[in-house]
C-alpha cells in the first residue's frame, strides 16, 4: 500500500504557500501520495469546520498515513486524531511550529486549544511523532513547541533561522520535514 501524506496548513494559510509545494514534489518523486485540503475560515477559523474538512479528506487513516501540520494545523491534527476510533494507528506525524495551548496574541484560535487534549489517546494512535521548531519563531514561542513535544513524548528537531516557517520568512524548502517523514516511515516499517 502506498504511503500518503496529509498536509494541514496553518491559520489563514494555504496548502500551496512557502515550503509545501517543494515538499509535495519531493514526496511524489519518492512515490508518496499527497493530500492537502484547503481549510476554511481564513483569519477566523472554526475548529468544527476544520474537523469536517479533515474527516471528509481522510475518512480512513491507517499505518500508511502520515500527517504534516504547520502552526494551527498541528492543533487541528491533534483534534482530528482525538475523533478516531481507539484502535486506529497512523504511521506518524510531523508538527512544525505547533502549539497545544493558548497563544497570548491569537485568541481567535482558542477554540482549537481551550479544552485539554487527550494526549494519551493521541500517543496510542501515532507510531512516531516529531515536533520541529525554531528558537526565534515570532508567532509561536519556542516554549510552546517544547510544551507540545513534551505532551506528545515526541522527538524534537530544532531548525533555527526560519522564523515561523512561512512565506514571510522566505522559506521555500524545508528539508527537516522531509527527513522527519522519512524517519517516521523507517520507525513504522522497522
CB contact set of 15 (below 8 Å; sequence gap of 6+): 7, 9, 36, 37, 38
Task: Specify the CATH number for 4-189; select among 3.40.720.10, 3.40.50.720, 3.40.50.1820, 2.60.40.1220.
Answer: 3.40.50.1820
Grid coordinates representing 67 are: 500527517
pLDDT of residue 168: 92
| Cα–Cα distance for residue pair 48/25, rounded to 1 Å | 30
Cβ-contact 92, 127 below 8 angstroms: yes
pLDDT of residue 45: 96
Cβ-contact 118, 53 below 8 angstroms: no
| Cα–Cα distance for residue pair 27/31, rounded to 1 Å | 6
| Cα–Cα distance for residue pair 112/133, rounded to 1 Å | 19
Tell whether the torsion through CA atoms of 72, 73, 74 and 75 is positive or negative: positive
Distances 126 to 33, 37, 66, 120 between C-alpha atoms, Å: 19, 21, 9, 10
Q: What 3-state DSSP class applies to 7?
A: strand
| Cα–Cα distance for residue pair 156/150, rounded to 1 Å | 9
Residues of the chain with pLDDT under 70: 188-190
**CB-neighbour burial class of residue 113 (10 A; exposed 0-12, middle 13-18, buried 19+):** buried
The fraction of the chain above a pLDDT of 70, given in percent, is 98
pTM for the full model? 0.97
Amino acid at each position: 500500500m502506498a504511503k500518503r501524506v496529509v498536509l494541514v496548513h496553518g491559520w489563514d494559510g494555504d496548502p500551496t504557500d512557502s515550503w509545501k509545494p517543494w515538499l509535495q514534489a519531493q514526496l511524489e518523486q519518492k512515490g508518496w501520495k499527497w493530500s492537502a485540503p484547503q481549510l476554511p475560515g481564513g483569519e477566523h477559523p472554526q475548529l468544527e469546520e476544520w474537523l469536517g474538512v479533515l474527516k471528509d479528506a481522510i475518512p480512513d487513516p491507517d499505518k500508511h498515513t502520515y500527517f504534516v501540520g504547520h502552526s494551527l494545523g498541528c492543533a487541528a491534527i491533534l483534534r482530528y486524531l482525538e475523533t478516531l476510533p481507539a484502535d486506529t494507528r497512523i504511521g506518524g506525524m510531523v508538527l512544525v511550529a505547533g502549539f497545544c495551548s493558548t497563544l497570548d496574541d491569537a485568541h481567535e484560535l482558542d477554540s482549537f486549544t481551550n479544552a485539554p487534549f487527550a494526549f494519551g489517546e493521541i500517543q496510542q494512535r501515532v507510531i512516531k511523532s516529531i515536533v520541529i521548531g525554531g528558537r526565534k519563531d515570532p508567532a509561536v514561542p519556542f516554549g510552546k513547541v517544547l510544551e507540545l513535544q513534551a505532551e506528545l513524548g515526541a522527538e524534537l528537531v530544532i531548525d533555527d533561522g526560519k522564523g515561523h516557517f512561512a512565506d514571510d520568512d522566505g522559506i521555500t524548502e524545508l528539508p527537516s520535514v522531509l527527513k522527519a517523514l522519512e524517519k517516521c516511515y523507517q520507525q513504522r516499517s522497522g
